[in-house]
């Protein structure tokens, strides 16, 4: 009999702790029982008995779920399922000083892709007031110094307003998380580069153009960033 392929024939030893197992079991239970945010969870004593583990092990697993924003404790109700903050953990580590260059590039490419997809939702939710405010931001670029810090501020203000116009809160939070990454990468440019389509051009497209024309304009506006992408 041959030795075969050990990597396939022998399963690796599991390094999961009891708390890991309990965390998994709890998540499976919540999904199986179709718990919704606001629903009360069983008491700790009931959970320890059902799982056959100590209270310390259970509490460690519960603390992990609390850290994910999945459960919280309310007066007179005990533990309840909460709507998790899906971006909370990511916000705490989104710092260019502790992220490697490859990840920084990946995140920046994600931002480019996201902005290319904003046209459809913008054209559904844009208002006259929004466009007026966006135009005011774009026009202010001509009356302030062209130093790098002012340039970054204008980019942040303009694109931040576009995200706000979508009315999507998660998208707005995600854009805010990307600001340090954006500022870091723009500062790496030795010579400021401006796209063929300017901010005021984008405003005019929002006023009078179609969503397809706006999408094409945004692509031209970001062209110098796309040119830097590696194959």
Task: Check residue 15 and give its pLDDT.
Answer: 59
Task: Check residue 179 and give its pLDDT.
Answer: 75
Give the other-Cβ count within 10 Å of 26's Cβ: 21
Nearest to 186 by CA among 222, 214, 135: 222
Contact assessment for residue 107 and residue 183, using Cβ atoms and an 8 Å cutoff: no
Nearest to 149 by CA among 178, 96, 109, 192: 192
Among all chains, which residue has been given the structure tokens 């590039």?
Answer: 105
Among all chains, which residue has been given the structure tokens 């707005």?
Answer: 172
Per-residue pLDDT of the chain (231 residues; tens, 9 = 90+): 455 555 555 555 455 788 999 999 999 999 999 999 999 999 999 999 999 999 999 999 999 999 888 999 888 888 999 988 777 777 777 777 788 888 888 888 888 899 999 999 999 999 999 999 999 999 987 655 555 555 677 888 899 999 999 999 988 888 888 777 766 666 666 665 667 899 999 999 999 999 999 999 999 998 988 887 766
Give the other-Cβ count within 10 Å of 226's Cβ: 13
Task: Check residue 161 and give its pLDDT.
Answer: 94
Contact assessment for residue 174 and residue 85, using Cβ atoms and an 8 Å cutoff: no
- Across the strands, what pairs with 78? 74
In words, the CATH class of domain 6-81 is: mainly alpha
Distance from CA of residue 174 to its chain's centroid?
Answer: 4
Residues in CB range of 23: below 8 A, 6 or more apart: 61, 64, 65
Contact assessment for residue 138 and residue 155, using Cβ atoms and an 8 Å cutoff: no
Distance from CA of residue 39 to its chain's centroid?
Answer: 27
CA 160, CA 227: separation in Å to the nearest integer? Answer: 23
CA 146, CA 176: separation in Å to the nearest integer? Answer: 23
Contact assessment for residue 96 and residue 54, using Cβ atoms and an 8 Å cutoff: no
CA 220, CA 215: separation in Å to the nearest integer? Answer: 9
Task: Check residue 5 and give its pLDDT.
Answer: 59
CA 125, CA 114: separation in Å to the nearest integer? Answer: 17
* CATH 1.20.120.530-classified regions of the chain: 89-226
CA 167, CA 157: separation in Å to the nearest integer? Answer: 16
Task: Check residue 51 and give its pLDDT.
Answer: 92
Task: Check residue 150 and give its pLDDT.
Answer: 59
Task: Check residue 1 and give its pLDDT.
Answer: 47
Task: Check residue 86 and give its pLDDT.
Answer: 75
Q: What superfamily does domain 89-226 belong to in CATH?
A: GntR ligand-binding domain-like (1.20.120.530)
* CATH 1.10.10.10-classified regions of the chain: 6-81
Task: Check residue 142 and give its pLDDT.
Answer: 67
Task: Check residue 4 and give its pLDDT.
Answer: 57
Task: Check residue 189 and give its pLDDT.
Answer: 62
The CA R_g of the chain, rounded to the nearest whole Å, is 25
């Amino acid at each position: 009999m041959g030795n075969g392929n050990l990597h396939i024939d022998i399963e690796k030893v599991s390094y999961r702790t009891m708390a890991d197992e309990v965390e998994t079991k709890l998540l499976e239970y919540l999904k199986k029982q179709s718990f919704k945010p606001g629903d009360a969870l069983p008491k700790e004593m009931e959970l320890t008995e059902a799982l056959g583990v100590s209270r310390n092990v259970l509490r460690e697993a519960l603390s992990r779920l609390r850290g994910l924003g999945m459960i919280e404790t309310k007066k007179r109700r005990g533990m309840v399922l909460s709507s998790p903050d899906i971006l909370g953990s990511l916000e705490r580590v989104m710092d260019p000083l502790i992220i490697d260059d490859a990840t920084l590039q990946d995140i920046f490419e994600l931002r480019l892709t996201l902005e290319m997809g904003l046209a459809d939702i913008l054209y559904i939710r844009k208002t006259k007031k929004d466009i007026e405010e966006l135009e005011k931001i774009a026009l202010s670029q001509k009356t302030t110094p062209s130093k790098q810090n002012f340039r970054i501020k204008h980019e942040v203000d303009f694109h931040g307003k576009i995200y706000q116009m979508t009315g999507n809160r998660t998208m707005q939070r995600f854009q805010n998380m990307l600001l340090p990454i954006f500022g870091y990468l723009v500062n790496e440019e030795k010579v400021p580069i401006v796209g063929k389509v300017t901010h005021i051009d984008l405003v005019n497209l929002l006023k009078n153009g179609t969503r397809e024309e706006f999408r094409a304009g945004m692509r031209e506006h970001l062209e110098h960033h796309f040119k830097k992408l590696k194959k």
